[in-house]
C-alpha cells in the first residue's frame, strides 16, 4: 500500500546506522599453513602472493605456466575487527560485493555463508554471531580448478556423457571445466589470455549496523510513452519488527523537485538481497527531458537522481533513451530474403561502430583496473566508437564502468556470462544462475548505456557447428538443454527489464532463432541477426573477401605488440618469433603459421631468407630470429590495421543498401577486440601497456561519421568510391578528388580528377559514379589511389588511400625519407609535431622514446603530401623534447 505525503511526516523508528569497512589488510594462508602472508582486499591470491614476494610477477616471461599449484590449493583470508559496543545497534548486516568463488564465510568460527557464484552480491544478517570487543571474520576458498573438475566428474558419472569443452586446446595452457563454476570463464585461459584461476574478495566488504530499518539501494528503468517519460523506481530496504511507515524523498536534478513517498513495510521484511519495499512510477513531461545519445549522434545528457530514506542518501546518474530492435522482413513479399537486424535509439536507426570488451586484467586491483577502464573507454570514444560488447567470458562489469560508458556515449551490448561451452541444467545450477541473473539485471537495468542483453557468447553456434564431438550426448539433447537454460534466462531478464531487447546468443538469428526453437540451423546466417566472422584463408585486404551480414558483432585479426611493450614482459633474448616464451603466449591454434602466411602475402620476405616463397617461410631462420622480430611485429600491425579497415568499410558501405539477393542493410561493425590482459599476440587494437596499436589509429579513420572508401568492384574490376555519412544532416557542395599516384613518381599524381558532390545524404552510404571521367584501375603494384572529400573552404573532410595488395612487389627505396621538422609544446599535455617527406611515405610511424599515457592524434598513416602535423595528447603531463620523438615508415621502421 502506498501513501503520498508532500509535507514533513515524522518517522517513528530510529534510523541511525553505522558502517564498518572491512577492506584493507587481511591475513592469508594456504590450507596447511605452509604459506602465510598479509593480503589486501579488494584483491586476489596471485596479487597477494606477488606482493609478499612468494611468487614472481605472474605475467612476466613464462611465469604463467608455473603457478598451477596456487589454483589447486585452498586459501583462507581472515582478519580481526573490533566492536566497541555492539549493543548500540540491534542488527548487523555483512555486505560482500563479490566472492571469488567457492567460499565459506565464518564469523567467530560460525559459518554464516556458503557461496558458489562470483556474480552474486551478498548481504547477510550476522547480528547474532557478533560479540563485544574483538571478532574474527574468515573466508575459506576452495580450489576453483578442483571444484570444477569434481563437478565435471560427478556430472559424467550421473549423465554418462561429458559436458564440453572439457579442457581447452592444449595451446591455451589452461584449466579444464570452467563451465562447471560460476566464475569469469576467461580466468581458466582463453585464446588471448593465460590461466589464472584467482580466488579472493575482489569487491567491497563492510558491515552495516542499524536498529530496525536500513535503506539499502534503489534501481529503475525508464520508458517513454506518448508525451511522458516514466521512471519505474524500486526501493530496497531491510526491516525488522512491527509494520511501520517508511519515508523516501526522491529528487531528479533539473527535472523533479524533491517529494516524499511513504511505504508501509511488512513485519520482518528480513535481510534478503534486494528486498523491494516499494515501487513507484514517476512521470516527467518528455519535453522537459534532454535525451541521452550515443557518441557522435548527440549529447550525453545525464541527470542526478537522489533518494533519501532513513537517514541515508544515495545519488546516482540517470539518463533517458529508448531502444528498439528492428527485425522486419527485408521484403515482406519475399520472406526468404531474411530480416533486418538493427537498433533504433531514441527512434532513429544507429549504425553500431565499436568493439568487444574483455576484462581489463587477469587480477583484481580496483585502483589500477579502474584507471585502465577509464583509459580504454576514453580511447574508444575518442576514435568514434558508439558501442562496446561486454563479452560473455568475463564479468558483468562494475558500476564505475557503466557510469563512465554513459558519460562517454558508449552503448553496451551486454552478454550474460556464458561463453563457448555447454552448461549444466540441473536444479542446483539453474537456481544458482537464477540468483545471478536476477541480481545482475536488477543492477544493470538502470544504466542508460545498456542497449541489449544477450544470453551467451557463441554457444548456439557451437552446437550447430559441432565444435565438440561428445559421445552419448546427441545434438537434439544438446539443443534441449541449451533451450532450457537460455529460455529461463530470457524469462528472467525480460521480466526484470522489459525496456531493452534480449537476444538468445551472439551470434544468433534473432526472431528466426526463436522461431526455429531457440537454436537455429545456421546461427551464422547473414540474412538474420548478427554474425561473427573469422577467416584467415582469404585475402583480408580485398573488399570482396567478406560476407555481407545485417550486423557483425565480431571480426578481427591478430597482431603483435611492438617491441617496447613486449620487452616489459619478456627477456630481450626471448624476443623472437618462436622462442619458448613467445610460443607460450600464442594461444591461437594455427596462429604461428597463419600470421606469417597472411603477413607475407602482402609484405616482403626479408632478403636474408634464402627463398621468397611462402611455403618455405618455416625454413628461414632470420625471419623468426631476434634480429627481425621488431620489424615483424610492425608488419603484423600493418596487416591487422589494413584488414580491419577493409572489412569495416565493407560493412559500412552496405548501410542503407541491399544487393539483388537481399543481402546488406548492414548496421553493425564491432570488431574483436579492444583490449588485452597481457603482452602477447592477440586481436586487440590497444596493447597491455595501453599503447594504441596501428590498428587503433586506423579505427579513428574507419569509424569517422563522414568517411570515404575506395574499393575494387569485382564486377567490372574498377575503382568504386563510396561516401558514408552516419550523421543526421546532409552535407552540401563538396568535391571529391581522386588521384592515381605512382611510387616512382612520388608526390606528384599521375592522374587527378575532381567530381562535384552536390549532396552527401544523411545516414547513408552512396557510391560515386565515375563513368563520366573514367579512371582505369591498374592492378600493378606501381600504383596507389587517393580519394579526398573537401569543402568550399578547401578543408579535407574525409580521405582514403587504396594501396596495392602485393606491397612486396614495390621497390622500397622509392618510399620517402620522413622526418620530424618541428615540435611545439602547447602545454605539458599537448605537443604538436610537424612531419615532412620527400616522396610517398606509407605506414608512417611516430614514436616517443619515453613511455606515455595518451595517444597521437594520428599514426600509421600514409603521407601523400609534403607535410603533415599531428599532436600527442597526454593523459598524464610530461616534459618532452624534440629528441624524444622519432618517425619511420615502411622503408625503415624497426630495421
Ligand X SMILES: *[C@@H]1O[C@H](CO)[C@@H](O)[C@H](O)[C@H]1NC(C)=O
Q: Write out the residues near ligand X by the rule CB under 6 A.
A: 18, 32, 34, 47, 51, 61-62, 73, 84-85, 88, 108-109, 136, 156, 160-162, 365, 367-368, 471-472, 571, 574, 656, 658, 665, 732-733, 764, 792, 811, 813-814
In terms of Cα–Cα distance, which of 374, 386, 498, 506 is closest to 445? 498
Nearer residue to ligand X within complex by CB, 149 or 656: 656
Q: Are 204 and 217 in contact (CB under 8 A)?
A: no
Nearer residue to ligand X within complex by CB, 317 or 735: 735
Q: What grid cell was written down for 23?
A: 577492506
Q: How far apart are CA 268 and CA 568, in angstroms?
A: 57
In terms of Cα–Cα distance, which of 383, 394, 682, 729 is closest to 556? 682
Would you call the peptide bond into 536 cis, given omega within 30 degrees of 0 as the criterion?
no
Q: How far apart are CA 839 and CA 746, in angstroms?
A: 5
Nearer residue to ligand X within complex by CB, 161 or 737: 161
Nearer residue to ligand X within complex by CB, 129 or 831: 129
Residue 178 backbone phi and psi in degrees, to 5? -60, -25
Q: How far is the CB of 529 from ligand X (least distance, A)?
A: 17
Residue 772 backbone phi and psi in degrees, to 5? -70, -45
Q: How far apart are CA 801 and CA 843, in angstroms?
A: 11
Q: How far is the CB of 825 from ligand X (least distance, A)?
A: 27
Q: How far apart are CA 166 and CA 169, in angstroms?
A: 10
Q: How far is the CB of 39 from ligand X (least distance, A)?
A: 9
Give me Rg for the CA atoms of the chain. 29
Q: How far apart are CA 748 and CA 701, in angstroms?
A: 24
| Cβ atoms < 10 Å from Cβ of 548 | 21
Q: How far is the CB of 77 from ligand X (least distance, A)?
A: 14
In three-state secondary structure terms, 408 is helix
Q: How far is the CB of 88 from ligand X (least distance, A)?
A: 4
Nearer residue to ligand X within complex by CB, 602 or 891: 891
Q: Find the Cα–Cα–Cα–Cα dihedral 554, 559, 564, 568, rounded to 10°.
A: 70
Q: How far is the CB of 372 from ligand X (least distance, A)?
A: 9
Q: How far is the CB of 794 from ligand X (least distance, A)?
A: 13
In three-state secondary structure terms, 659 is coil
Q: How far is the CB of 817 from ligand X (least distance, A)?
A: 11
Q: How far apart are CA 259 and CA 282, in angstroms?
A: 11
Q: Are 823 and 832 in contact (CB under 8 A)?
A: yes
Q: How far apart are CA 674 and CA 686, in angstroms?
A: 6
Q: How far is the CB of 789 from ligand X (least distance, A)?
A: 14
Q: How far apart are CA 71 and CA 194, in angstroms?
A: 13
Q: How far apart are CA 175 and CA 148, in angstroms?
A: 9
Active site residue 458: yes
Q: How far apart are CA 115 and CA 105, in angstroms?
A: 8
Q: How far apart are CA 224 and CA 213, in angstroms?
A: 34
Nearer residue to ligand X within complex by CB, 18 or 534: 18
Distance of alpha carbon 763 from the chain centroid: 25
Q: What is the DSSP string of 796-846?
A: EEEEEEE--S-GGGS-GGGS---EEEEEEEEETTEEEEEEE-SS-EEEEEE
Q: How far apart are CA 117 and CA 487, in angstroms?
A: 20
Nearer residue to ligand X within complex by CB, 280 or 812: 812
Nearer residue to ligand X within complex by CB, 211 or 536: 211
H helices present in 383-426, as ranges = 399-408
Residue-wise over 105-144: b if at least 16 C-beta within 10 A, else e?
bbbeeeebbebbbbbbbbbbbbbebbeeeebebbbbbbbb
Q: What grid cell was written down for 394?
A: 568475463
Cell 537476444 belongs to: 503
Nearer residue to ligand X within complex by CB, 110 or 619: 110
Nearer residue to ligand X within complex by CB, 61 or 606: 61
In terms of Cα–Cα distance, which of 894, 840, 889 is closest to 866? 840
Q: How far is the CB of 160 from ligand X (least distance, A)?
A: 4
Q: How far is the CB of 52 from ligand X (least distance, A)?
A: 10
Q: How far apart are CA 360 and CA 543, in angstroms?
A: 32
Q: How far is the CB of 763 from ligand X (least distance, A)?
A: 7
Q: What grid cell was written down for 628?
A: 627481425
In terms of Cα–Cα distance, which of 699, 697, 619, 709 is closest to 657? 709
Nearer residue to ligand X within complex by CB, 91 or 700: 91
Largest separation between any pair of C-alpha atoms in the chain: 91
Catalytic one among 458, 512, 554, 576?
458
Q: How far is the CB of 408 from ligand X (least distance, A)?
A: 21
C-alpha dihedral sign at 54, 56, 59, 64: negative
Comparing every residue's Cβ against ligand X, the nearest one is 61
Q: How far apart are CA 543 and CA 710, in angstroms?
A: 9
Nearer residue to ligand X within complex by CB, 220 or 423: 423
Nearer residue to ligand X within complex by CB, 644 or 736: 736
In three-state secondary structure terms, 231 is strand
Residues designated catalytic? 458
Amino acid at each position: 500500500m502506498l501513501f503520498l505525503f508532500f509535507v514533513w511526516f515524522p518517522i517513528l523508528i530510529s534510523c541511525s546506522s553505522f558502517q564498518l569497512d572491512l577492506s584493507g589488510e587481511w591475513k592469508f594462508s594456504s590450507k596447511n599453513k605452509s604459506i602465510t602472508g598479509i593480503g589486501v582486499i579488494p584483491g586476489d591470491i596471485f596479487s597477494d602472493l606477488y606482493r609478499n614476494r612468494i611468487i614472481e610477477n605472474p605475467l612476466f616471461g613464462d611465469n604463467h605456466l608455473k603457478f598451477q599449484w596456487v589454483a589447486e590449493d585452498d586459501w583462507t583470508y581472515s582478519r580481526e575487527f573490533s566492536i566497541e559496543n555492539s549493543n548500540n545497534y540491534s542488527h548487523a548486516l555483512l555486505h560482500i560485493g563479490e566472492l571469488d568463488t567457492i567460499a565459506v564465510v565464518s564469523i567467530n568460527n560460525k559459518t554464516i555463508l556458503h557461496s558458489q557464484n562470483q556474480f552474486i552480491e551478498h548481504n547477510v544478517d550476522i547480528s547474532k554471531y557478533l560479540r563485544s570487543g574483538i571478532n574474527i571474520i574468515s573466508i575459506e576458498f576452495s580450489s576453483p580448478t578442483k571444484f570444477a573438475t569434481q563437478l565435471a566428474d560427478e556430472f559424467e558419472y550421473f549423465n554418462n556423457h561429458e559436458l564440453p569443452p572439457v579442457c581447452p586446446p592444449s595451446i591455451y595452457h589452461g584449466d579444464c571445466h570452467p563451465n562447471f563454476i560460476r566464475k569469469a570463464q576467461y580466468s581458466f585461459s582463453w585464446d588471448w589470455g593465460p590461466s589464472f584461476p584467482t580466488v579472493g574478495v575482489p569487491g567491497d566488504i563492510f558491515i552495516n549496523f542499524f536498529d530496525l530499518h536500513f535503506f539499502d539501494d534503489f534501481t529503475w528503468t525508464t520508458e517513454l510513452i506518448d508525451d511522458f517519460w516514466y521512471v519505474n523506481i524500486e526501493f530496497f530496504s531491510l526491516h525488522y519488527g512491527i509494520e511501520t511507515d517508511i519515508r523516501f524523498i526522491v529528487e531528479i536534478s533539473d527535472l523533479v523537485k524533491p517529494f516524499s513517498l511513504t511505504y508501509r513495510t511488512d513485519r520482518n521484511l528480513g535481510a534478503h538481497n534486494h528486498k523491494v519495499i516499494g515501487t513507484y512510477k514517476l512521470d516527467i513531461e518528455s519535453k522537459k527531458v534532454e535525451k541521452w545519445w550515443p557518441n557522435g549522434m548527440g549529447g550525453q545528457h545525464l541527470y542526478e537522481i537522489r533518494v533519501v530514506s532513513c537517514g541515508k542518501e544515495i545519488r546516482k546518474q540517470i539518463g533517458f533513451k529508448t531502444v528498439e530492435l528492428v527485425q522486419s522482413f527485408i521484403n515482406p513479399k519475399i520472406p526468404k530474403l531474411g530480416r533486418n537486424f538493427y537498433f533504433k535509439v531514441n527512434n532513429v536507426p544507429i549504425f553500431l561502430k565499436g568493439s568487444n570488451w574483455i576484462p581489463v586484467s587477469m587480477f583484481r586491483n580496483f585502483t589500477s583496473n579502474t584507471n585502465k577502464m577509464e583509459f580504454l573507454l576514453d580511447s574508444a570514444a575518442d576514435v568514434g566508437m558508439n558501442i562496446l560488447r561486454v563479452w560473455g567470458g568475463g564479468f558483468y562489469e562494475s558500476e564505475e564502468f557503466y557510469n563512465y560508458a554513459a558519460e562517454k556515449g558508449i552503448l553496451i551490448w551486454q552478454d550474460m556470462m556464458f561463453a563457448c561451452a555447454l552448461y549444466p541444467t540441473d536444479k542446483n545450477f539453474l537456481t544458482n544462475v537464477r540468483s545471478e541473473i536476477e541480481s545482475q539485471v536488477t543492477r544493470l537495468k538502470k544504466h542508460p548505456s545498456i542497449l541489449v542483453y544477450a544470453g551467451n557468447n557463441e554457444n548456439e553456434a557451437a552446437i550447430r557447428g559441432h565444435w565438440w564431438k561428445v559421445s552419448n550426448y546427441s545434438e537434439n539433447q544438446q539443443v534441449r538443454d541449451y533451450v532450457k537454460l537460455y529460455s529461463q534466462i530470457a524469462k528472467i531478464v525480460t521480466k526484470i527489464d522489459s525496456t531493452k531487447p534480449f537476444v538468445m546468443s551472439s551470434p544468433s538469428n534473432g526472431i528466426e532463432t526463436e522461431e526455429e526453437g531457440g537454436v537455429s540451423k545456421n546461427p551464422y546466417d547473414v540474412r538474420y541477426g548478427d554474425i561473427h566472422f573469422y577467416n584467415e584463408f582469404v585475402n583480408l585486404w580485398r573488399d570482396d573477401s567478406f560476407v555481407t551480414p545485417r550486423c557483425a558483432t565480431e571480426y578481427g585479426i591478430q597482431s603483435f605488440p611492438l617491441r617496447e611493450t613486449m620487452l616489459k614482459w619478456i627477456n630481450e633474448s626471448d624476443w623472437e618469433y618462436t622462442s619458448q616464451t613467445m610460443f607460450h603466449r600464442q594461444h591461437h591454434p594455427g596462429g604461428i603459421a597463419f600470421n606469417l602466411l597472411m603477413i607475407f602475402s602482402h609484405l616482403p620476405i626479408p632478403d636474408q631468407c634464402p627463398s621468397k616463397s611462402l611455403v618455405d617461410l618455416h625454413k628461414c631462420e632470420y625471419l623468426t630470429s631476434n634480429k627481425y622480430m621488431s620489424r615483424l611485429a610492425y608488419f603484423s600491425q600493418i596487416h591487422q590495421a589494413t584488414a580491419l579497415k577493409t572489412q569495416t568499410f565493407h560493412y559500412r558501405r552496405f548501410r542503407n543498401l541491399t544487393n539483388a539477393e537481399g543481402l546488406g542493410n548492414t548496421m553493425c561493425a564491432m570488431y574483436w577486440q579492444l583490449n588485452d590482459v597481457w603482452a602477447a599476440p592477440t586481436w586487440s587494437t590497444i596493447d597491455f601497456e595501453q599503447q594504441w596499436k596501428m590498428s587503433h589509429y586506423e579505427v579513428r579513420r574507419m569509424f569517422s561519421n563522414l568517411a570515404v572508401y575506395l574499393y575494387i568492384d569485382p564486377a567490372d574490376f574498377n575503382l568504386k568510391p563510396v561516401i558514408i555519412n552516419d550523421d543526421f544532416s546532409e552535407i552540401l557542395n563538396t568535391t571529391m578528388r581522386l588521384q592515381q599516384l605512382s611510387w616512382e613518381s612520388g608526390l606528384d599524381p599521375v592522374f587527378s580528377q575532381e567530381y562535384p558532390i552536390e549532396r552527401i545524404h544523411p545516414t547513408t552510404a552512396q557510391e560515386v559514379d565515375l563513368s563520366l571521367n573514367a579512371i582505369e584501375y591498374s592492378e600493378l603494384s606501381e600504383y596507389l589511389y587517393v580519394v579526398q572529400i573537401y569543402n568550399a573552404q578547401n578543408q579535407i573532410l574525409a580521405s582514403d588511400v587504396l594501396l596495392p595488395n602485393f606491397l612486396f612487389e614495390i621497390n622500397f627505396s622509392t618510399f620517402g625519407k620522413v622526418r620530424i621538422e618541428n615540435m611545439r609544446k602547447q602545454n605539458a599535455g599537448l605537443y604538436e609535431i610537424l612531419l615532412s617527406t620527400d616522396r610517398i611515405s606509407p605506414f608512417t610511424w611516430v614514436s616517443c622514446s619515453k613511455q606515455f599515457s595518451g595517444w597521437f592524434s594520428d599514426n600509421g598513416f600514409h603521407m601523400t603530401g609534403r607535410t603533415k602535423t599531428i599532436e600527442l595528447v597526454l593523459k598524464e603531463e610530461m616534459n618532452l623534447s624534440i629528441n624524444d620523438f622519432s618517425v619511420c615508415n615502411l622503408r625503415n621502421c624497426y630495421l
